[in-house]
Amino acid sequence: MKSSICWFRSILLLILILSVNKVFSQSKFDLSGGLGMPELINARLKYGQKIQIGLCVGIATVFGNVDGSFAAEVKYNFLGKSKYVEQAPWYVLGGLGHYNLQNFGDYEQYKFAFYPRIGRTINFSKKMGITGDFGVFLPLSAYNYYTYDFKILPSGGISFFIRL
């Protein structure tokens, strides 16, 4: 729990520093919040235009247990045109994450996983929009190696974003 709070504070500090610094292009940072599986209720920070790199931190409290996730992601915007921005609306996303999911069925046993997805961005203006994507959850390791059972599970999410 302490590490989740530390990561959250670090990300907020990074956002504050980068939003005040005029050296970086303001339209290259995206801050988003959303719902996803296995990211839970999440916050993301991404940097880039055509290729974006970012971090995702998720948390949920279910039946008194705090579940969490932390992932590094790469997103490639590759197809289509948007009315408001130059960034293509269709994308592929790949994430590598660490999970502590105690109340989520088949996802509970897995510690590290990779999730490739395909998705679409809908821009409401130059500064905001929503994204939705779906794909698979590919477990890389489990908490208990003796009962490890490899399963391909669904993965997906929806989020609202703001370009900083």
Predicted confidence pLDDT, tens digits, the chain (164 residues): 555 565 566 665 555 555 554 444 446 888 999 998 888 889 999 998 889 999 999 888 777 777 788 899 999 998 877 777 878 899 999 999 888 777 667 776 777 889 999 999 988 888 899 999 999 988 887 777 676 677 888 999 999 999 88
Q: Which residues of 43-74 are buried (b: 16+ CB within 10 A; e: fewer)?
A: bbbbbbeeebebbbbbbbeeeeeebbbbbebe
* pLDDT computed for residue 40 by the predictor: 83
What are the boundaries of each domain within the chain?
Answer: 2-163
What CATH number labels 2-163? 2.40.160.20
Does the reported pTM lie above 0.85? no
* pLDDT computed for residue 3 by the predictor: 54
Asked if residues 102 and 118 have their Cβ atoms less than 8 Å apart, the reply is no
* pLDDT computed for residue 99 by the predictor: 81
* pLDDT computed for residue 16 by the predictor: 55
